[in-house]
Structure 1
């Protein structure tokens, strides 16, 4: 009789608030620069290796190869929706609600500073296969650039740091939001150009082609978020 193989143990790192803040700040800074680069309309899609997949309901959907999981981008000109209106619903929690209605937990776990937070997202056993019994521990950073462009950067913490902040439940799979976020550029007549980026690794035993196909649907949430934004009234900047 062969000995049983012990279950893998996820290593966790106990990290101080200062070290956590420093790590998340620099990681989010890199994510912000990636988002701004992806939203730059002056760059050639061919040179930047973006491939346009479709134009649906005024939304341009593109992808770029990056490792096993493609990065997907959607861009849409939102008329009569100001950047301040849209940015109120451009966050990790509202996006997750659009990804899958069976989101069972969405909590701000820790505030690093006024515009940088740690969030936990948990999906239940009735969720879609790519989210079923999965959790994500992500940072969310919101910045206003010098030209008024609004950026929201969201990505997962490394699994060791996430385990130190929130022990993973045995029945859950810890997925990874490799990078995601919004770039909202102000235009005339209270309109804005919104670029949304997402690269998701749900982990577990899912074919990569299936995950990449689903990611093309995730970037379509701009349509749903637009409706939420139109229902919001905003009196000032973020």
Structure 2
């Protein structure tokens, strides 16, 4: 089997993601205020093993006024995202891979002079034992290659873990290891992620506060992430996708071109 072959996340993958979300070992606290906590992973130094230059970041927020089920719906509802995500340029689902997995496209605005980014990801989700999990990672889709006007970013692993703490409250955890590519120094990426991630969570929390009212007016019974039979997306064989790795050699030419352009834009 190729190193880049696609395997849909199974129970073990979801369990591993949950354990990372809940683990405190090898995580350093960078911010803790008003129910918001930001941590960065510091993997143990192992002889012969290199540590990835892109930090893995984890943000945890205690939500006291929105249910876990509602926050889960907010993350899935692509129509609602257009209402609350000011950085989004374009977002759409491409195809279904299974009852609980799909592939989609997302592009977003970056502050000048940084070029805007986009990403193609395989997303999978699980609702089990009163817990909600969503995970994604970057893939290459034959019909959605990198665009000349955007830098193709890489999600190594990104996702959410949501656990109810009451009928209208929950613990909400966001975990991500992502490479925006381009010419940005890795230390800038790592530092920026510690600032941007809390802002994202605050925006998602606010979106959760307003979701039920919005959903009542916008196809209230349409939730294909809970009811797969409602999905109108075409089916796709995961074998048609290829894993997009952050350190993949096939990205070098594309990235170097974007590096040069981004450096010109920054000068």
Could you say which TM-score interval applies, normalised by the shorter chain?
0.7 to 0.9
2:75 aligns to what SS in structure 1?
coil
Q: 1:100-119 maps to which residues of 2 (within 5 A)?
A: 101-119=86-104
Which residue does the alignment assign to 1:166?
A: 144
Q: CA offsets, 1:61-80, max 9 Å, x none?
A: 10003510111111121113
> Could you tell me how far apart the structure 2 residues matched to 1:178 and 1:189 are?
33
**Distance across 2 between alignment mates of 1:198 and 1:105:** 21
The TM-score, its normalising length taken from structure 1, stands at 0.74
How far off is 1:230 after superposition? 1.3
Distance change (3 Å), C-alpha of 1:94 and 1:123: same
Cα displacement (A) at 1:106: 0.7
Q: Please list every run of at least 4 consecutive aligned residues from structure 1 whose deviation after the TM superposition is greater than 4 angstroms.
A: 28-31, 91-100, 234-237
Using the alignment, how far apart are the partners of 1:140 and 1:168 within structure 2? 19
- How far 1:51 sits from its partner (Å)? 0.4
Partner of 1:138: 121
Compare 68-77 and 85-94 and name the one that shifted more.
Answer: 85-94
How many residue pairs match? The answer is 205
Equivalent pair of 2:21/2:173 in contact (CA under 8 Å) = yes
Query: Contact between 2:67 and 2:166, CA under 8 Å: does it hold in 1?
Result: no
| CA deviation profile, 1:155-198 (whole Å, cap 9, x unmatched) | 211xxx33x23122223321101111110011224211111111
Unpaired stretches in structure 1, ≥5 consecutive residues = 1-19
- Quick one: distance in 2 between partners of 1:130 and 1:199? 23
Q: CA RMSD in A?
A: 3.1
Change (3 A) 1:129 1:193: same
5+ residue gaps, structure 2: 43-50, 227-267
In 1: Cα distance, 2:114 partner to 2:84 partner: 9
Residue 92 of structure 1: how far off its partner (Å)? 9.3
1:39 CA displacement: 2.4
- TM-score (normalizing by structure 2): 0.67
Specify the alignment match of 1:72 in structure 2. 57
- Cα distance change, pair 123–130 in 1 and its aligned pair in 2 (3 A): farther
Name the residue aligned to 1:32.
14
